[in-house]
């Protein structure tokens, strides 16, 4: 399927998108890249974000609030995740994602408590338009994404679907421990996204 000569590759970076339904939340939560790229650089993160935004748009979203995750909100040259987050925000401000079917707001670096709640943003003195209303979290590396998603699944009882994006069609990719429902949801979402991208 991913053979470089005869498979489904397009030349674009292949990336993973997790789609989660979390009990108590009234919207879907998306996370990228939690399962494919180990330690992406800034250019790769731009492609990861682009792939995710295209897929979410295909699900019917006109606007996506995206948060670039880091340990805190201050840009620190010694913490690459904060530097890359600032770079992604700059790319958004410069219009690098304006050609996509949906509009977006990109903020970061942003800690997970601010992602979850406007109250925590205000408590920390963070001015954010999307705190508590984040659709998509872009994680700095695969470890962060893997822990984030599996914590939501195993401790918060979230239902999760997983897809690889950037190929000719979305490809189902879930954890080996995921239940049959997760695999079914992944296949269903792959069909919807594939249809929405045409």
Q: Given a cut of 90, is residue 11 above it in pLDDT?
A: no
Banded model confidence at residue 175, pLDDT cuts 50, 70, 90: confident
Give the percent of the chain with pLDDT over 70: 96
Q: Residue 170 maps to which CATH number?
A: 3.40.718.10
- How many domains does the chain contain in total? 1
Q: Is the pLDDT of residue 40 over 90?
A: yes
Where on the phi/psi map is residue 102: left (φ > 0), alpha (ψ -120 to 50), or beta?
Answer: beta
Whether 4 maps to a domain, the answer reads no
In whole angstroms, give the CA distance from residue 45 to residue 94. Answer: 16
User: Is it the case that residue 5 has pLDDT exceeding 80?
Assistant: no
| Choice between 168 and 69, residue whose per-residue pLDDT is larger | 69
Q: Is residue 2 part of a domain?
A: no
pTM of the full structure:
0.93
Q: Residue 179 — very low, low, confident or very high, per pLDDT cuts 50/70/90?
A: confident
Q: How many helices and strands in the chain, by DSSP H and E?
A: 6, 7
Q: How many CB atoms lie within 10 A of CB 105?
A: 17
- pLDDT above 80 for 31: yes
Q: What does the pLDDT read at residue 161? A: 95
8 belongs to a structural domain:
no
Residue 159 forms part of a structural domain: yes
Average pLDDT of the residues of the chain: 93
**Per-residue model confidence (pLDDT) at position 45:** 98
The string of pLDDT tens digits covering residues 76-113 is 999 999 999 999 999 999 999 999 999 999 999 999 99
| Full DSSP string of 57-114 | HHTT-SEEEEEEE-SSSS--TT-HHHHHHHHHHHHHHTTTTTTSSSEEEEEEEE-HHH
pLDDT in the model for residue 3: 64
Q: Which of 24, 36, 47, 163 is nearest to 96 (CA)?
A: 47
Percent of the chain scoring above 90 in pLDDT? 83
Nearest alpha-carbon partner for 163 in 44, 8, 11: 8
pLDDT of the residue at 62: 97
**Full residue range of the structural domain in which residue 125 is found:** 15-197
The reply to whether 10 falls in a domain is no
**5 domain-assigned:** no
6 lies in a domain?
Answer: no
Does residue 2 surpass a pLDDT of 90? no
Residue 9 located in a structural domain: no
pLDDT above 90: residue 178 = no
């Amino acid at each position: 399927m991913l053979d470089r000569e005869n498979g489904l590759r397009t030349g674009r970076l292949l990336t993973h998108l997790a789609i989660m339904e979390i009990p108590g939340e009234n919207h879907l939560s998306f996370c990228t890249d939690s399962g494919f790229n180990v330690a992406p650089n800034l250019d790769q993160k731009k492609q990861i974000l682009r792939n995710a935004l295209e897929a979410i748009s295909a699900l019917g979203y006109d606007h996506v609030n995206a948060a670039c995750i880091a340990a805190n909100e201050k840009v620190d040259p010694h913490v690459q995740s904060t530097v890359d987050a600032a770079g992604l925000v700059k790319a958004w401000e410069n219009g690098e994602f304006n050609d996509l079917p949906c509009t977006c707001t990109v903020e970061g670096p942003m800690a997970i408590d601010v992602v979850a709640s406007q109250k925590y943003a205000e408590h920390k003195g963070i001015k954010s338009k999307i705190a508590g209303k984040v659709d998509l979290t872009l994680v700095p590396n695969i470890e962060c994404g893997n822990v984030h998603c599996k914590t939501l699944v195993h401790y918060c009882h979230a239902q999760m679907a997983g897809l690889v994006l950037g190929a000719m069609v979305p490809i189902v990719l879930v954890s080996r421990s995921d239940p049959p429902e997760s695999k079914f949801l992944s296949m269903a979402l792959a069909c919807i996204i594939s249809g929405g991208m045409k």
